[in-house]
Amino acid sequence: MVRCLKSEFCQTVDDLVGGVYTKHEALWEALDERHFDLNTCLRETIVLLKSFLVVLPEDQLVSFESALELPSRSPEPSRITFRHRRFVALPGK
């Protein structure tokens, strides 16, 4: 769904920038709708992730946490930790 929305969003932007259409209001409305849909997908994904973290068994939490570790862009590696199995502690936040 997100790939499809991204494709539609990008096509609408190209059409708007290219000046192909004379009815810009319809294109802006389409962009607004795509943005709303993408934002809704993101928010629903966050809810699902939080729900997953709440029900994840304690013995699997450490292995899940270590699986999320990505190469750091900073000189010191950052570590993501879960507090009380409900909140993600992000360095610098």
Each residue's pLDDT tens digit, 22-42 = 778 888 888 899 889 999 999
Select the more confidently predicted residue: 63 or 39.
39
As given in the structure block, the two tokens for residue 24 are: 């810009």
Only one residue has tokens 């699997």, namely 60
pTM value > 0.85: no
Proportion of the chain above pLDDT 90, given as a percent: 15
Q: Measured on CA atoms in the order 81, 61, 85, 88, is the torsion positive or negative?
A: positive
Helix (H) or strand (E) holding 89: strand 87-89
pLDDT attached to residue 90: 53
Q: Sign (positive/negative) of CA torsion 20, 24, 29, 35?
A: positive
Task: Kindly list the domain boundaries of the chain, sorted by start residue.
Answer: 1-55, 58-93
Residue 21 makes CB contacts below 8 A (sequence gap 6+) with 15, 27
Q: Which amino acid is at 38?
A: L
